[in-house]
Amino acid sequence: MNQKLPNATGVLILGIVSLVTCCCYGIVGLIAAIIGLVLANKDMATYNKNPGQYDNYGNLKTGRILCIIGIVLNILSVIYYIYIISAIGTDALLNPELLQERLREMQGQ
């Protein structure tokens, strides 16, 4: 009977979490994706030592791919939020009237 890779399910869950939370300012998803990728690389090294011994390598590969996609999406999300904060300013984020004014300025109205 084959063994299961110890972190394959966790990597899959972290990959899904990183995709679901990519719109939450990018930080939570980025952390989850990086942890998942580190665990995936550790399990891949274990699998490559004895490939015939493990049977859930598919979950590990899928989770690793989701983590990589999650890293890309979360980095794009962080870049977007940094752009928005630099374009609008932190003071406008706390003041709705100033936010509306800055948005109108950006639209050229």
- 53-70 pLDDT, tens digit per residue, is 999 999 999 999 999 999
3: left (phi over 0), alpha (psi -120 to 50) or beta: beta
Q: Is the pLDDT of residue 108 over 90?
A: no
Q: What is the CA radius of gyration of the chain?
A: 20
Gap between the Cα atoms of 104 and 102, Å rounded:
5
Confidence of residue 93 (pLDDT cuts 50, 70, 90): confident
1-38: per-residue pLDDT in tens?
789 999 999 999 999 999 999 988 889 999 999 999 99
pTM: 0.88
Cβ-contact 14, 39 below 8 angstroms: yes
Tokens 């009977």 correspond to: 1
Average pLDDT over residues 61-85: 96
